[in-house]
Amino acid sequence: MKNIEIYCHNTRSKHSYPLGTSLLEISRDLDIKMKNTVCGAIVNHQVRELSFCLVKPKQVEFFDVSHPDGIRMYIRSLIFVLYAAVKEVYPHVSLRIQKGISNGYFCELTGFGREITDKDIELVKAEMKEIIAKEIPFIKRGLLTEDAVEHLMQEGLEDKAQLFEQQGHLFTSLYFLENLGNYFYGHLLPSTNYISNFNLEKYFDGLLLRIPDSDNFDKLMEAPKQKKLFEIYEEHKDWAQLLNVSTISNLNEFTLKKQGGDIIKIAEALHEKKIAEIANIIHSRNSDIKVVLVAGPSASGKTTFSKRLGVQLAVNGLHPYQISLDNYFVDREHTPRDEHGNYDFEALDAIDIGFFNEQLLELFRGKEVQLPKFDFHRGRRYLNGDKLRLKHGDILIVEGIHGMNPRLLTDVQEKNTFKIFISALTQISFDEHTHISTSDNRLTRRIIRDSKYRGYGASETIKRWPSVRRGEEKNIFPYQENADVMFNSATLYELAVLKKYAEPLLKQVLENQPEYMEAMRLLKFLSYFKPIDDNEIPPTSLLREFLGGSSFVY
């Protein structure tokens, strides 16, 4: 029998195996030891399941659930088990995975006709544990698409079936847990017994599926109640259901019927209405509010939102002035460093908090101040002659990632502030069981913006993204519930528009680059959307901050 040669990054050595040997067999033969059980591998910079069989020479790197793709495998497999358990315990109840929240996944069970009880949850959880204990393999089977669609329809998974039909492929695949078929747009674990830790608990009017901490799999992620975030999600879910655009297949139907422009108009009008409502709240408290703080993660659209809010405040008779926290950075040599010794520009202490508060108090007292600018090339703050004095009816809009942090305004009274948290909370899902990550939405935006305005290729943006995300988890998201109001900058249509701009950039990432794997994942993700042209997106849209064509000056 012909042998093939592999290079294993884990052992840093070459090995020869018979043609058709599976990754699982190789991992066991090499006795790969990791912190957690090996659950998948990167083969030539592409993620593969352990059932994958090698027929050509390859570079292989095994990973466990602590790897980003490992935890994705774990979550998909866990949701499949949850689906199977619900179907077994309550055959006439439908499961929908609505969103990621509180470090877990919010699930709805429809068809009960009554409120979900703790007993209901315990029955489902017990069934999940029984399925896991049986060590049932997740089997991937190739099928004619028409057969896969028929199977999904029989299971009541109409959104999945419709999306499969829209792709136009002759053959496709389904995953099976015994006789139960489903699909999750990504790889799964080898079998149910790889699932070692989870919990299911009541959360508002549904369930929260809790997942392990990837750094310590014996411990579940903390699950703080995020009431404000939940409410803004629910508001936009109502919009999506009102327009019947809850999933990708729903959106694609509008596109195929040449009605993408209708979705754009309505989505933009809903944004404008929400911004106007926020401006009205601020105006009603204008006798107290002196400063509006706008914060949010990378590529959330903070800058354009601030400008649009300024327009609406002006409609209310106020005179807004915009200030960026970035101009209050400390000089480079005083910038704190992270655990790797690199400058940590996203730490709060990278901001000169004392000077910022001093200037705010001066402005509130009616004094004139010289506003700073920060030269990012020289790493120095300087005064360029811009001056500001606040008069009656004037209000400051301060944009920056730390706006929700209580340590930012040390000398300003709470009643004088109004806090707005903005993020791109993706409003549509893949289907009944697969939500779309808000991080993927923002990363797609940032890839386009970095290419257009900063000269970075997609590989560079992807390379930086994990560091950006770590900074957000540390410095931004823990404080989001401090907001007076949350604003969702995502639109129902945007990923269908971003597709046209992002795909050519992602295709430039070469196979020998480490970022190739993530680029391929994003390309597959975007492939499910039918493209919508952006010619009807208005020049004031938040998306214009990333696509270009904005009427605002940045």
Residues 63 and 27: beta-carbon distance below 8 Å:
no
> Which pLDDT score is estimated for 341?
85
Domain ranges of the chain: 3-64, 227-547
Per-residue model confidence (pLDDT) at position 202: 95
Structure token pair of residue 79: 């949701």
pLDDT of residue 518: 96
Residue type, 459: S
Strand pairing category for 417-423 and 485-488: parallel
C-beta separation of 456 from 487 below 8 A: no
Those residues with Cβ within 8 angstroms of residue 266's Cβ, 6 or more apart along the chain or in another chain: 243, 492
- Assess contact for 78 and 53: CB atoms under 8 A: no
Which residues does 189 contact at the CB level (< 8 Å), separation at least 6? 39, 40, 73, 74, 77, 138, 195
Q: What is the pLDDT of residue 426?
A: 87
Burial (CB < 10 A; 0-12, 13-18, 19+), residue 303, is middle
Longest Cα–Cα distance of the chain, Å, equals 86
The residue type of 33 is K
Rounded-to-integer distance, Cα 308 and Cα 296, Å = 16
By CB atoms closer than 10 A (0-12, 13-18, 19+), residue 16 is exposed
Confirm or reject CATH 3.40.50.300 for domain 227-547, answering yes or no.
Answer: yes
Do residues 361 and 291 lie in contact, with contact meaning Cβ atoms separated by under 8 Å?
no
pLDDT tens digits, one per residue of 365-395: 999 999 999 998 899 999 888 899 999 889 9
Q: Cα dihedral sign for 534, 538, 541, 544?
A: positive
Output the pLDDT for position 38. Answer: 96
For the chain, which ranges sit under pLDDT 50?
Answer: none
**Own/partner pairs, 368-375, CB within 8 angstroms, 24+ separation:** 371/323, 371/327, 372/327, 372/328, 373/327, 374/326, 374/327, 374/328, 374/329
d(CA 511, CA 45): 7
Q: How many Cα atoms occupy the beta-carbon half-sphere of 199 within 13 Å?
A: 17
Q: What is the pLDDT of residue 134?
A: 97
Structure-token pair, residue 398 = 């301060």
Task: Tell me the CA distances in angstroms from 74 to 39, 44, 190, 228, 314, one per residue in order.
Answer: 9, 22, 10, 28, 50
Distance separating the N- and C-terminal Cα atoms of the chain: 64
Class level of CATH domain 3-64: alpha beta
Q: Are 190 and 76 in contact (CB under 8 A)?
A: no
* Bridging pattern class, strands 291-295 and 417-423: parallel
Structure tokens, 29: 């033969």
Give me the pLDDT at residue 357, please: 95
